[in-house]
Amino acid sequence: MDLRQLRYLDAVARARSFTAAALDLHIAQSALSQQVAKLERELGVELLKRTTRKVETTEAGELVLARGRRALAEAAAIREDLDALHGLVRGSLKIGGVPPMSGLHPARLIAEFGARHPGIDITIREDVAQLLIDELAAGRLDLVLSLTDVRTLPPSLTGRRLVEEELVLILAPDHPLAQRKRIPHAALTGERLVAYGEGSVLRAELERLVDEPNVIAEVNELVTLRELVALGLGVTLMPKAVVAATPPTTLAVRPLHPRLRVPVAMIWRAHEQPTPAAAAFREHVLAAVARHP
If asked whether residues 139 and 159 sit together in one domain, one would say yes
CA distance 219 to 234: 12
Strands 214-218 and 236-239 come out as unpaired
* Domain-terminating residue out of 72, 100, 118: 72
- Residue 58 forms part of a structural domain: yes
Task: Render the burial of 252-261: b for 16+ CB within 10 Å, e for the rest.
Answer: bbbbbeeebe
pLDDT at 86: 55
CA distance 202 to 255: 15
- Residue 63 forms part of a structural domain: yes
* Domain-terminating residue out of 20, 44, 72: 72
Residue 16 pLDDT more than 60?
Answer: yes
If asked whether residues 183 and 151 sit together in one domain, one would say no
Residue 85 pLDDT more than 70?
Answer: no
- Residue 210 forms part of a structural domain: yes
- SS3 labels along 81-142: HHHHHCCCCCEEEEEECCCCECCECHHHHHHHHHHHCCCEEEEEECCCHHHHHHHHHCCCCC
If asked whether residues 148 and 273 sit together in one domain, one would say yes
Using the Cα atoms of residue 183, residue 185, residue 191 and residue 196 in order, give the sign of their dihedral.
Answer: positive
The torsion angles phi and psi of 205, rounded to 5 degrees, stand at -70, -40
pLDDT at 249: 87
If asked whether residues 220 and 171 sit together in one domain, one would say yes
Residue 29 three-state SS: helix
Average pLDDT over residues 120-145: 92
CA distance 279 to 197: 31
- Residue 171 forms part of a structural domain: yes
Domain count, the chain: 3
pLDDT at 275: 85
If asked whether residues 271 and 156 sit together in one domain, one would say yes
Mean pLDDT of the chain: 89
Q: What is the CATH number of the domain that holds 54?
A: 1.10.10.10
Residue pair 249/64 in contact by the 8 Å Cβ criterion: no
Residue 53 pLDDT more than 80?
Answer: no
If asked whether residues 33 and 119 sit together in one domain, one would say no
pLDDT at 2: 86
Q: Which domain does 258 fall in, by range? A: 166-262
- Residue 19 forms part of a structural domain: yes
CA distance 230 to 216: 15
Contacts of 130 by beta carbon, 8 Å cutoff, 6+ apart: 198, 199, 200
> Which residue(s) pair with 122 in the sheet?
93
CB atoms within 10 A of CB 188: 21
If asked whether residues 208 and 191 sit together in one domain, one would say yes
If asked whether residues 14 and 28 sit together in one domain, one would say yes
If asked whether residues 209 and 127 sit together in one domain, one would say no
Residue 185 pLDDT more than 90?
Answer: yes
Residue 246 pLDDT more than 60?
Answer: yes
Q: What percentage of the chain exceeds 90 in pLDDT?
A: 55
- Residue 175 forms part of a structural domain: yes
- Residue 81 forms part of a structural domain: no
* Domain-terminating residue out of 45, 72, 99: 72
Q: What percentage of the chain exceeds 70 in pLDDT?
A: 96
pLDDT at 14: 86
Confidence tier at 84 by pLDDT (50, 70, 90): low
Contacts of 73 by beta carbon, 8 Å cutoff, 6+ apart: none
Q: What is the CATH number of the domain that holds 255?
A: 3.40.190.10
If asked whether residues 22 and 142 sit together in one domain, one would say no
If asked whether residues 250 and 185 sit together in one domain, one would say yes
Residue 21 three-state SS: helix
If asked whether residues 210 and 275 sit together in one domain, one would say no
- Residue 128 carries which side chain, given as an amino acid letter? V
- Residue 80 forms part of a structural domain: no
